[in-house]
Amino acid sequence: MASHDEVEGDIPPPTASHQVPHIFIIAGPSATGKSTVARAIAERFGVPMVEGDDLHPRENIEKMSHGHPLTDDDRWDWLKTVASVSVNSSKPPTSPPDELDSEQQSRPACVTTCSALKRKYRDLLRSELPEPETAILDFLFLTASEEELLRRIEGRDNHFMKKNMVRSQIITAEVPRALEPGTGEEGNDGDERGIESDCTVIWTDNLSQGEVAERAMDVVRQLMLSDIGNEYKG
Protein backbone atom coordinates (compact mmCIF):
# COMPACT_ATOMS: atom_id res chain seq x y z
CA MET A 1 0.00 0.00 0.00
CA ALA A 2 1.31 3.51 -0.80
CA SER A 3 2.52 5.69 2.06
CA HIS A 4 -0.05 8.37 2.68
CA ASP A 5 2.57 11.02 3.31
CA GLU A 6 3.64 10.62 -0.29
CA VAL A 7 0.20 10.96 -1.74
CA GLU A 8 -1.82 13.36 0.38
CA GLY A 9 -2.28 16.83 -1.05
CA ASP A 10 -3.86 18.52 -4.01
CA ILE A 11 -5.22 16.65 -6.99
CA PRO A 12 -2.98 17.46 -9.99
CA PRO A 13 -4.54 19.69 -12.66
CA PRO A 14 -5.35 17.89 -15.93
CA THR A 15 -2.97 18.25 -18.89
CA ALA A 16 -3.58 17.38 -22.52
CA SER A 17 -1.36 14.29 -22.60
CA HIS A 18 -2.30 13.03 -19.17
CA GLN A 19 -4.51 9.96 -18.81
CA VAL A 20 -6.89 10.51 -15.94
CA PRO A 21 -6.88 7.70 -13.39
CA HIS A 22 -9.64 5.15 -13.00
CA ILE A 23 -10.69 5.07 -9.33
CA PHE A 24 -12.64 2.07 -8.07
CA ILE A 25 -14.30 2.78 -4.72
CA ILE A 26 -15.29 -0.35 -2.79
CA ALA A 27 -18.13 0.97 -0.63
CA GLY A 28 -20.65 -0.32 1.89
CA PRO A 29 -21.24 -0.69 5.62
CA SER A 30 -18.65 -2.02 8.03
CA ALA A 31 -17.82 -5.74 7.60
CA THR A 32 -19.48 -6.16 4.22
CA GLY A 33 -16.10 -7.30 2.89
CA LYS A 34 -14.67 -4.10 1.37
CA SER A 35 -11.07 -4.73 2.39
CA THR A 36 -11.26 -8.39 1.38
CA VAL A 37 -12.53 -7.50 -2.09
CA ALA A 38 -10.17 -4.56 -2.56
CA ARG A 39 -7.16 -6.73 -1.71
CA ALA A 40 -8.25 -9.32 -4.27
CA ILE A 41 -8.65 -6.64 -6.97
CA ALA A 42 -5.33 -5.00 -6.11
CA GLU A 43 -3.51 -8.36 -6.28
CA ARG A 44 -5.22 -9.58 -9.44
CA PHE A 45 -4.61 -6.43 -11.50
CA GLY A 46 -1.51 -5.12 -9.76
CA VAL A 47 -3.03 -1.78 -8.83
CA PRO A 48 -2.43 0.24 -5.65
CA MET A 49 -4.92 -0.17 -2.81
CA VAL A 50 -5.93 2.67 -0.50
CA GLU A 51 -7.55 1.67 2.80
CA GLY A 52 -10.02 4.44 3.64
CA ASP A 53 -9.99 3.49 7.33
CA ASP A 54 -6.31 4.51 7.49
CA LEU A 55 -7.25 8.04 6.45
CA HIS A 56 -9.75 8.72 9.24
CA PRO A 57 -8.49 11.29 11.75
CA ARG A 58 -7.75 9.79 15.16
CA GLU A 59 -10.89 11.40 16.65
CA ASN A 60 -13.10 9.50 14.17
CA ILE A 61 -11.49 6.17 15.04
CA GLU A 62 -11.86 6.90 18.76
CA LYS A 63 -15.49 7.85 18.29
CA MET A 64 -16.29 4.66 16.39
CA SER A 65 -14.33 2.45 18.78
CA HIS A 66 -16.46 3.84 21.63
CA GLY A 67 -19.62 2.89 19.73
CA HIS A 68 -20.55 6.40 18.51
CA PRO A 69 -21.53 6.75 14.85
CA LEU A 70 -19.82 9.46 12.82
CA THR A 71 -21.75 12.56 11.74
CA ASP A 72 -21.75 14.14 8.29
CA ASP A 73 -19.27 16.72 9.60
CA ASP A 74 -16.93 13.97 10.82
CA ARG A 75 -16.95 12.37 7.38
CA TRP A 76 -16.66 15.43 5.13
CA ASP A 77 -12.90 16.16 5.23
CA TRP A 78 -12.15 12.43 5.41
CA LEU A 79 -14.01 11.91 2.10
CA LYS A 80 -11.99 14.71 0.48
CA THR A 81 -8.78 13.08 1.67
CA VAL A 82 -9.96 9.72 0.30
CA ALA A 83 -10.47 11.38 -3.10
CA SER A 84 -7.08 13.07 -3.29
CA VAL A 85 -5.09 10.13 -1.91
CA SER A 86 -6.79 7.80 -4.40
CA VAL A 87 -5.85 9.96 -7.38
CA ASN A 88 -2.31 10.54 -6.16
CA SER A 89 -1.77 6.82 -5.45
CA SER A 90 -2.92 5.63 -8.88
CA LYS A 91 -0.53 3.69 -11.07
CA PRO A 92 -0.94 1.70 -14.30
CA PRO A 93 -1.87 -1.92 -13.53
CA THR A 94 1.09 -4.31 -13.51
CA SER A 95 -1.21 -7.22 -14.54
CA PRO A 96 -3.91 -5.63 -16.69
CA PRO A 97 -6.60 -7.80 -18.27
CA ASP A 98 -5.40 -9.20 -21.64
CA GLU A 99 -8.32 -7.66 -23.53
CA LEU A 100 -7.24 -4.05 -22.80
CA ASP A 101 -5.57 -2.12 -25.60
CA SER A 102 -2.22 -0.46 -24.92
CA GLU A 103 -3.73 2.89 -24.01
CA GLN A 104 -6.12 1.23 -21.58
CA GLN A 105 -3.27 -0.78 -20.08
CA SER A 106 -1.33 2.37 -19.28
CA ARG A 107 -4.23 4.15 -17.57
CA PRO A 108 -3.40 4.65 -13.86
CA ALA A 109 -5.85 2.98 -11.51
CA CYS A 110 -6.44 2.60 -7.81
CA VAL A 111 -8.80 0.52 -5.66
CA THR A 112 -10.00 2.29 -2.53
CA THR A 113 -12.10 1.12 0.40
CA CYS A 114 -14.44 3.85 1.61
CA SER A 115 -17.85 3.27 3.21
CA ALA A 116 -19.48 6.10 1.13
CA LEU A 117 -22.72 5.13 2.84
CA LYS A 118 -24.95 8.03 1.82
CA ARG A 119 -25.67 9.32 -1.60
CA LYS A 120 -24.42 12.77 -0.64
CA TYR A 121 -21.05 11.23 0.29
CA ARG A 122 -20.84 9.60 -3.12
CA ASP A 123 -21.84 12.94 -4.65
CA LEU A 124 -19.03 14.64 -2.74
CA LEU A 125 -16.53 12.13 -4.15
CA ARG A 126 -18.00 12.76 -7.61
CA SER A 127 -17.58 16.50 -7.23
CA GLU A 128 -14.03 16.11 -5.90
CA LEU A 129 -13.16 13.85 -8.86
CA PRO A 130 -15.19 15.26 -11.76
CA GLU A 131 -15.35 13.18 -14.91
CA PRO A 132 -13.87 13.27 -17.47
CA GLU A 133 -11.17 15.80 -16.61
CA THR A 134 -9.96 14.56 -13.22
CA ALA A 135 -10.79 10.87 -12.92
CA ILE A 136 -13.04 8.05 -14.01
CA LEU A 137 -14.93 7.07 -10.89
CA ASP A 138 -16.85 3.85 -10.27
CA PHE A 139 -18.35 2.43 -7.11
CA LEU A 140 -18.81 -1.20 -6.14
CA PHE A 141 -21.23 -1.05 -3.23
CA LEU A 142 -21.25 -4.19 -1.06
CA THR A 143 -24.14 -4.94 1.22
CA ALA A 144 -25.43 -7.69 3.51
CA SER A 145 -28.15 -8.25 6.09
CA GLU A 146 -27.72 -7.03 9.66
CA GLU A 147 -27.52 -10.65 10.94
CA GLU A 148 -24.72 -11.47 8.51
CA LEU A 149 -22.78 -8.30 9.36
CA LEU A 150 -23.04 -9.11 13.07
CA ARG A 151 -21.65 -12.59 12.38
CA ARG A 152 -18.77 -11.21 10.32
CA ILE A 153 -17.88 -8.46 12.78
CA GLU A 154 -17.84 -10.95 15.66
CA GLY A 155 -15.52 -13.20 13.68
CA ARG A 156 -13.04 -10.39 12.99
CA ASP A 157 -10.22 -9.81 15.48
CA ASN A 158 -8.33 -6.64 16.40
CA HIS A 159 -10.62 -4.14 14.74
CA PHE A 160 -11.87 -0.89 16.27
CA MET A 161 -15.35 -1.41 14.80
CA LYS A 162 -17.47 -3.54 17.14
CA LYS A 163 -20.89 -5.10 16.79
CA ASN A 164 -22.60 -2.16 18.55
CA MET A 165 -21.98 -0.14 15.35
CA VAL A 166 -23.72 -2.47 12.92
CA ARG A 167 -27.22 -1.06 13.48
CA SER A 168 -26.19 2.55 12.81
CA GLN A 169 -24.22 1.50 9.73
CA ILE A 170 -27.30 -0.26 8.33
CA ILE A 171 -29.56 2.69 9.13
CA THR A 172 -27.15 5.19 7.59
CA ALA A 173 -26.52 3.19 4.41
CA GLU A 174 -28.36 4.37 1.32
CA VAL A 175 -27.96 1.45 -1.05
CA PRO A 176 -27.65 2.95 -4.53
CA ARG A 177 -30.21 2.26 -7.17
CA ALA A 178 -27.87 0.95 -9.84
CA LEU A 179 -27.63 -0.72 -13.23
CA GLU A 180 -26.98 -4.43 -13.62
CA PRO A 181 -23.41 -4.59 -15.00
CA GLY A 182 -23.24 -5.04 -18.74
CA THR A 183 -27.01 -5.06 -19.33
CA GLY A 184 -28.08 -1.44 -18.97
CA GLU A 185 -31.02 -2.81 -16.95
CA GLU A 186 -31.94 -1.58 -13.53
CA GLY A 187 -30.53 -4.18 -11.19
CA ASN A 188 -32.09 -3.55 -7.79
CA ASP A 189 -34.74 -1.54 -6.04
CA GLY A 190 -32.51 0.42 -3.64
CA ASP A 191 -32.65 4.19 -3.29
CA GLU A 192 -35.82 5.78 -4.60
CA ARG A 193 -34.01 8.71 -6.18
CA GLY A 194 -32.46 8.50 -9.66
CA ILE A 195 -30.21 5.70 -10.77
CA GLU A 196 -26.55 5.96 -9.82
CA SER A 197 -25.23 4.32 -12.93
CA ASP A 198 -21.60 4.52 -11.83
CA CYS A 199 -22.49 2.08 -9.01
CA THR A 200 -22.65 -1.69 -9.04
CA VAL A 201 -24.34 -3.25 -6.03
CA ILE A 202 -23.31 -6.70 -4.80
CA TRP A 203 -25.51 -8.41 -2.18
CA THR A 204 -23.04 -10.62 -0.37
CA ASP A 205 -25.17 -12.59 2.12
CA ASN A 206 -25.12 -15.85 0.19
CA LEU A 207 -21.76 -15.48 -1.51
CA SER A 208 -18.40 -16.68 -0.24
CA GLN A 209 -15.47 -14.24 -0.10
CA GLY A 210 -14.09 -15.87 -3.24
CA GLU A 211 -17.39 -15.52 -5.08
CA VAL A 212 -17.75 -11.84 -4.18
CA ALA A 213 -14.15 -11.21 -5.24
CA GLU A 214 -14.70 -12.99 -8.58
CA ARG A 215 -17.82 -10.96 -9.25
CA ALA A 216 -16.09 -7.71 -8.29
CA MET A 217 -13.04 -8.49 -10.45
CA ASP A 218 -15.31 -9.18 -13.36
CA VAL A 219 -17.00 -5.79 -12.95
CA VAL A 220 -13.61 -4.05 -12.70
CA ARG A 221 -12.40 -5.84 -15.84
CA GLN A 222 -15.49 -4.72 -17.76
CA LEU A 223 -15.15 -1.15 -16.51
CA MET A 224 -11.44 -0.98 -17.41
CA LEU A 225 -12.36 -2.22 -20.87
CA SER A 226 -15.23 0.24 -21.31
CA ASP A 227 -12.68 3.03 -20.72
CA ILE A 228 -15.19 5.57 -19.54
CA GLY A 229 -16.68 3.58 -16.69
CA ASN A 230 -20.42 3.79 -16.18
CA GLU A 231 -21.72 7.26 -16.76
CA TYR A 232 -23.37 8.92 -13.76
CA LYS A 233 -26.66 10.47 -14.74
CA GLY A 234 -27.36 12.17 -11.43
Ligand X SMILES: Nc1ncnc2c1ncn2[C@@H]1O[C@H](COP(=O)(O)OP(=O)(O)O)[C@@H](O)[C@H]1O
Q: Give the footprint of ligand X on this chain (CB under 6 A).
A: 30-36, 113, 152, 155-156, 204, 207-209, 212
Distance CA 47, CA 43 (A): 7
Q: In which element (H, E) is residue 97 found?
A: none
The DSSP code sequence of 105-163 is: HTS-EEEEE----SHHHHHHHHHHS-TTTT-EEEEEEEE--HHHHHHHHHT--S-S--G
Tell me which of ligand X, ligand 6PG, none is bound by residue 208, counting a contact when its beta carbon lies within the kind-specific cut-off of 5 to 8 angstroms. ligand X
26 makes contact with ligand 6PG (CB under 6 A): no
Nearer to ligand 6PG, 104 or 115 (CB): 115
Minimum separation from the CB atom of position 25 to ligand X (A): 12
Tell me which of ligand X, ligand 6PG, none is bound by residue 117, counting a contact when its beta carbon lies within the kind-specific cut-off of 5 to 8 angstroms. ligand 6PG
What is the b/e burial string over 94-115, where b = at least 16 CB atoms within 10 angstroms of the residue's CB?
Answer: eebbeebeeebbebbbbbbbbb
Residues in contact with ligand 6PG, shown as a per-residue x/- string from 91 to 120 under the rule CB under 6 A? ------------------------x-x---
Residues in contact with ligand 6PG, shown as a per-residue x/- string from 169 to 198 under the rule CB under 6 A? x-----------------------------
Q: Which amino acid is at 81?
A: T
Output the residue with the shortest Cβ distance to ligand 6PG.
Answer: 115
Asked if 94 and 53 count as a contact pair (C-beta separation under 8 A), the reply is no
Tell me which of ligand X, ligand 6PG, none is bound by residue 75, counting a contact when its beta carbon lies within the kind-specific cut-off of 5 to 8 angstroms. ligand 6PG
